[in-house]
Homo-oligomer: A and B are copies of this chain.
Amino acid sequence: MSLRETPASPSAATLSTTLAERLRSAIMRGELVPGSKLVLDRIRASYGVSLSPLREALWRLESEGLVQAEDQRGYRVAPVSADNLAEVIRLRVELEGMAAREAILHGDAAWEGRILSSLHQLNRSRRGQRSPEEQEEWEQRHRAFHAELISACRMPLLQQFCETLHDQSDRYRRIFLKDHEPDRDVPAEHAAIADAMIGRRADDAARMLRDHIERTGRNIQAALRGPG
């Protein structure tokens, strides 16, 4: 249930936490392929850890929908499907829409500043960069920007749900739109959404957010149907 957090007080990250992050990243990048079996002893060996923290890490990823677990039969990377993607997109639209409206109601000047700042950071890194580091940086900033939009909503559970759903749809995008030239001006969409949020134009913001999410969703759906 934790928002991927820096602990309030400076306590050392546990091996299990570190491992969950590494595995999450591998799953999101598609390096661990959807539906594939996660053989405990193999992963244990390749990450150089013991079983206890590994199993804990997998349970955390299970709760984020990135891993499936079955008693006595082990774990596998969550499979992908058009139906699942459609639901993720639909829920993102509804929940991020709700969160955005709440954020507009409650947001203050500091919140506006954080939106502008994260938008700026995002625009300074370019998507579809050659180096994986740059790509990873863009991904991270993109996630941060979307999180900031709803950060003032005063509904931590809702933020949690949105983060989980966002991760799930990011995985689809990163796997199926691997080196896909965007057919639209994504930075402009981000800027317009930020502007509507700060300008407290709730209906505009919700509509643009919906379109933004759904457009990406349709592109992924097309790629998903195409090859697979």
Q: Is A87 part of the binding interface, using a Cβ–Cβ cutoff of 8 Å? A: yes
CB–CB A98/B88 < 8 A:
no
Query: In the bound complex, how far is the Cα of B72 from the Cα of A5, in angstroms?
Result: 14
CB–CB A11/B52 < 8 A:
no
Q: Residue on B with the closest CB to A153? A: B87
Interface residue stretch chosen among A22-30, A62-70, A103-111, A190-198? A62-70
- A71 — which chain B residues lie within 8 A by C-beta? 7, 11-14, 17
Interface residue stretch chosen among A156-164, A170-178, A202-210? A156-164
Interface string of A1-37 (1 = CB under 8 A from B): 1100001000111100100000000000000000000
A90 CB contact (under 8 Å) in B13, B17, B155? B155
Q: Measured between C-beta atoms, what is the minimum distance from A19 to chain B in Å? A: 12
- A13 — which chain B residues lie within 8 A by C-beta? 71
CB–CB B52/A2 < 8 A:
no
Q: Measured between C-beta atoms, what is the minimum distance from A151 to chain B in Å? A: 15
Q: Measured between C-beta atoms, what is the minimum distance from A182 to chain B in Å? A: 26
Query: In the bound complex, how far is the Cα of B72 from the Cα of A14, in angstroms?
Result: 7
Q: Is A73 part of the binding interface, using a Cβ–Cβ cutoff of 8 Å? A: yes
Query: In the bound complex, how far is the Cα of B67 from the Cα of A63, in angstroms?
Result: 13
Interface residue stretch chosen among A53-61, A117-125, A139-147, A219-227? A53-61
Query: In the bound complex, how far is the Cα of B86 from the Cα of A157, in angstroms?
Result: 11
Q: Is A41 part of the binding interface, using a Cβ–Cβ cutoff of 8 Å? A: no
- A94 — which chain B residues lie within 8 A by C-beta? 94, 98
Q: Is A91 part of the binding interface, using a Cβ–Cβ cutoff of 8 Å? A: yes
Q: Measured between C-beta atoms, what is the minimum distance from A175 to chain B in Å? A: 18
Q: Measured between C-beta atoms, what is the minimum distance from A38 to chain B in Å? A: 15
- A7 — which chain B residues lie within 8 A by C-beta? 70-71
The 9 closest A-B pairs by CB, nearest first: A63-B63, A14-B71, A59-B59, A11-B72, A1-B65, A87-B155, A1-B62, A52-B52, A87-B157
